[in-house]
């Protein structure tokens, strides 16, 4: 039985509002609200042995109570055990508390010892009730994640009530072999009330078998959710492609290079998917500069040749425009049965008349390749025969947005889906956030590239760096100077870039310097980028908009100011703008001292390696899954007890058990989803 917490005894409306902030609404929610720490309250300490900074249990007689004058009204209670004394200080107090701490009363309190105006003091210690005193003799005391106004004692009382009255109703949903080691109810009782002598260090690190039991069940449930999603989509029909490969040959013939073996392998994996009537769900990973866009174009050839449309969705208009220029250039020259392939860009900047014309082209099937942002999937965008959706994800679209694409298919057909990532995703996260997709990895960079040398320098050496930039530019090379600010604001970033543009234009009047930032109109930005690509500019001052910029093989130096403010993956992505030719390239990370330990670690990693896959793993260690993937992607990855970094070794086994449950006990799968992911969409597993 899972009932609302409002039906429990001794629970007020104020308590319910506080519990709601913790996302606790039902008895099951409370049962799975696990302690963040434990305290040993079994040993009373003599007051003469008190030390500042220790959190201790003491007992004594109230000798005096007064309300000293001061900026903040407070209540000072002098407590003595006959051999020592301590002042209990309360800034928030009420009638019941003053009665509890009346002169002559014997009380037991737990709190941190501090040095105050009257010697040793405790601020707002917890007063231990008689019933809690009995329990404290046998068990560790749990400390729960809480919120303002909700005291630990009240939270314990609510959770204890749920344990006594409702825990026995919880159904065991794990296979027998797992439940045998530690069943669910045993595990919950242990976690909420570990006996004295339990290994507190093990509990704090979530390594106790009782905690592992719950962690594993939650990981299994997330895997079930992904498997159900995948199975659901594969029940639907997708268009079966039958390309002659003439279009692909036309595309490759105009390239000044041959695709790498990795690009050809991944392209074949995609073709194998497209030649079936089941929707492709494929994640294409590759390091910066590995050539994911060309793989997307190669996949598009098969779909276009089979008479279907391709939609390419990018997270920003800058990147969407970049794709539009690439695809338009590649496909403009190809003779597709004597008719030019139409590539269109659906952008917010289009005038109404122009936008309506593009929408009509898409609806009539005259536009074969449609490129834009998530606006592509608004209601008014109708495709005639959408066969393939390519999402350049950059970690910014969620799973449910991917699922919504099936509505854009024709005649009940679901389009094939391919997701590309801007930088590699750690294996753990790929298995959890993208577990419903097959994975292809472009693990080879185009030949002839020299590894980038990365150096970190304090801002005090900025002048030295500027002179090096000037010298290189005068020798015919090109360079980027990237500005970043503490506040992530396009306006402030633009102002900073403009100030540096002004400074360097005056300092080096003989250099041709350009400026690119997010506040420029797209056509202005594109013009500057094109000038840089054509060697009309020697130095480009930019904000992080160039994270997804043009390919300029002649650019060999990048300077990133305030590099300590950016995440590892973003720094690696920016660095990837250089090192695209055969000459030696450099990336200078200018930082402001002193560096935090985390900031130092980030810059050290970039100096040590150019491998995006290794950087992704290290980024996960430093920042955690939420920051690495972004909130939209991790919405479905909010775990109550599991931690993807800490518990990654359990994922493979969790995946196996999820498959087993879906095959043998599908009803348990639904119950697990209800327990751990009540808000997640449900998909029938046929």
The residue behind tokens 């866009």 is 293
Q: Which contacts of 4-13 are long-range, i.e. CB under 8 A and separated by 24 or more positions? A: 5/29, 5/30, 5/158, 8/158, 8/161, 8/162, 9/161, 10/157, 11/158
How many other β-carbons are positioned within 10 Å of the β-carbon of residue 683? 17
Q: CA 69: distance to chain centroid?
A: 50
- The predicted structure's pLDDT at residue 379: 80
CB 253 within 8 A of CB 298: no
User: Mapping DSSP to helix (H, G, I), strand (E, B) and coil, where does residue 88 land?
Assistant: strand
Structure tokens at 684: 């029938």
CA pair distance 105, 372, nearest whole angstrom: 73
How many other β-carbons are positioned within 10 Å of the β-carbon of residue 204? 13
Cis amide linkage into residue 672, ω under 30° from 0: no
- The predicted structure's pLDDT at residue 679: 76
- The predicted structure's pLDDT at residue 635: 42
Report the alpha-carbon angle 399-403-407, nearest 5: 155
CA pair distance 89, 81, nearest whole angstrom: 17
Considering all CA atoms of the chain, what is the largest pairwise distance in Å, rounded to the nearest integer? 102
Q: What is the DSSP letter of 434?
A: S
CA pair distance 271, 283, nearest whole angstrom: 14
- Cβ neighbours for 165, distance < 8 A, ≥ 6 positions apart: 27
Structure tokens at 677: 């992911």
Looking at domain 246-442, which CATH architecture does it have?
3-Layer(aba) Sandwich (3.40)
| Domain segments of the chain as ranges | 42-127, 246-442, 453-609
The model's pLDDT over 26-48, given as tens digits with 9 standing for 90+, comes to 999 999 999 999 998 888 999 99
The residue behind tokens 């005391």 is 141
CA pair distance 42, 40, nearest whole angstrom: 6
- Cβ neighbours for 277, distance < 8 A, ≥ 6 positions apart: 237, 238, 239, 240
- The predicted structure's pLDDT at residue 686: 36
Ranges of residues in the chain whose predicted pLDDT is under 50: 486, 631-636, 684-686
Residue burial 121-151, b: 16+ Cβ < 10 Å; e: rest: bbeebbbbeeebeebbeebbbbebebeeebe
E strand residue ranges, 138-236: 141-143
Same fold, 246-442 and 453-609: yes
Report the 3 state secondary structure along 261-297: HHHHHHHHHHHHHHCCCCCCEEEEEECCCCCHHHHHH
CATH code for the domain defined by 453-609? 3.40.50.300
Q: Which CATH superfamily is domain 42-127 in?
A: Nucleic acid-binding proteins (2.40.50.140)
CA pair distance 539, 500, nearest whole angstrom: 12
This prediction has a pTM of 0.74
How many other β-carbons are positioned within 10 Å of the β-carbon of residue 21? 12
Q: Is the dihedral of CA 297, 298, 301, 303 positive or negative?
A: negative
CB 504 within 8 A of CB 487: no
- The predicted structure's pLDDT at residue 491: 66
Q: CA 604: distance to chain centroid?
A: 22
CA pair distance 545, 501, nearest whole angstrom: 16
CB 569 within 8 A of CB 595: no
Region of residue 177 (left: phi > 0; alpha: psi -120 to 50; beta: else): alpha
Q: What is the DSSP letter of 424?
A: -
**Cα–Cα distance list, 393 to 9, 107, 526, 557, 632 (Å):** 49, 60, 22, 28, 11
């Amino acid at each position: 039985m899972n009932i609302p917490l409002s039906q429990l005894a001794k629970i007020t409306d104020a308590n319910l509002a506080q519990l709601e902030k913790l996302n606790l609404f039902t008895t099951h929610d409370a049962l799975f609200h696990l302690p963040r720490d434990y305290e040993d309250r079994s040993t009373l300490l003599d007051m003469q042995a008190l030390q500042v900074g220790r959190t201790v249990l003491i007992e004594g007689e109230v000798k005096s109570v007064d309300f000293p004058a001061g900026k903040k009204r407070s209540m000072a209670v002098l407590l003595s055990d006959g051999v020592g004394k301590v002042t209990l200080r309360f800034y928030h107090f009420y009638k019941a508390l003053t009665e509890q701490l009346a002169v002559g009363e014997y009380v037991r309190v737990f709190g941190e010892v501090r040095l105050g105006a009257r010697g040793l003091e405790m601020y707002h210690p917890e007063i231990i009730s008689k019933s809690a005193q009995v329990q404290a003799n046998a068990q560790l005391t749990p400390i729960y994640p809480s919120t303002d106004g909700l005291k630990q004692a009240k939270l314990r009382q609510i959770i204890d009530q749920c344990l006594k009255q409702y825990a026995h109703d919880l159904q065991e949903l794990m296979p027998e072999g797992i439940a045998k080691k530690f069943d669910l109810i045993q595990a919950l009782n242990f976690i909420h009330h570990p006996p004295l002598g339990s290994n507190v260090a093990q509990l704090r690190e979530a390594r106790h078998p009782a905690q592992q039991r719950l962690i594993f069940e939650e990981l299994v449930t997330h895997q079930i959710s992904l498997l159900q999603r995948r199975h659901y989509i594969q029940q639907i029909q997708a268009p079966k492609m039958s390309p002659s490969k003439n279009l692909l040959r036309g595309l490759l013939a105009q390239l000044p290079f041959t695709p790498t073996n990795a690009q050809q392998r991944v392209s074949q994996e995609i073709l194998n998917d497209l030649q079936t009537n089941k929707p492709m769900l494929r994640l294409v990973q590759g390091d910066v500069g590995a050539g994911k866009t060309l793989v997307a174009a190669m996949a598009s050839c098969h779909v276009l040749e089979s008479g279907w449309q391709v939609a390419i969705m990018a997270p920003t208009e800058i990147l969407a425009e970049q794709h539009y220029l690439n695809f338009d250039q590649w496909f403009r020259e190809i003779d597709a049965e004597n008719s030019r392939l139409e590539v269109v860009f659906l952008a917010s900047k289009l005038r109404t008349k122009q936008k309506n014309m593009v929408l009509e082209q898409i609806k009539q099937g005259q536009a074969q390749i449609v490129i834009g942002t998530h606006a592509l999937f608004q209601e008014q965008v109708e495709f005639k025969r959408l066969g393939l959706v390519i999402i350049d994800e950059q970690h910014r679209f969620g799973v449910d947005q991917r699922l919504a694409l099936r509505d854009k298919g024709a005649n009940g057909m679901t389009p094939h889906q391919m997701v590309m990532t801007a930088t590699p995703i750690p294996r753990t996260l790929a298995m959890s956030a993208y577990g419903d997709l097959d994975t292809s990895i472009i693990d080879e960079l185009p030949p002839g590239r020299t590894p980038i040398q990365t150096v970190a320098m304090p801002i005090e050496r900025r002048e030295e760096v500027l002179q090096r930039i000037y010298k290189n530019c005068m020798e015919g090379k090109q360079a980027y100077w990237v500005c970043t600010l503490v506040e992530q604001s396009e306006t402030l970033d633009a102002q900073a870039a403009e100030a540096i543009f002004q400074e360097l234009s005056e300092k080096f009047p003989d250099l041709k310097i350009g400026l690119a930032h997010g506040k420029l109109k797209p056509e202005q930005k594109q013009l500057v980028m094109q000038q840089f690509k054509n060697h009309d500019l020697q130095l480009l001052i930019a904000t992080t908009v160039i994270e997804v910029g043009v390919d300029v093989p002649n650019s060999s130096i990048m300077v990133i100011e305030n590099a300590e403010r950016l995440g590892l993956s973003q720094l690696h992505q920016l660095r990837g703008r250089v090192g695209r030719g055969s000459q030696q390239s450099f990336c200078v990370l200018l930082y402001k001292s002193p560096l935090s330990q985390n900031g130092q670690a980030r810059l050290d990693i970039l100096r040590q390696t150019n491998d995006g896959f290794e950087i992704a793993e290290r980024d996960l260690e430093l920042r955690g899954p939420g920051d690495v993937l972004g909130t939209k992607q991790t919405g479905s990855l909010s775990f109550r007890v599991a931690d993807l970094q800490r518990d990654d070794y359990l994922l493979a086994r969790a995946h196996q058990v999820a498959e087993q449950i879906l095959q043998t006990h599908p009803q348990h799968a639904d119950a697990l989803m209800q327990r751990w992911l009540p808000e997640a969409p449900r998909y029938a597993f046929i």
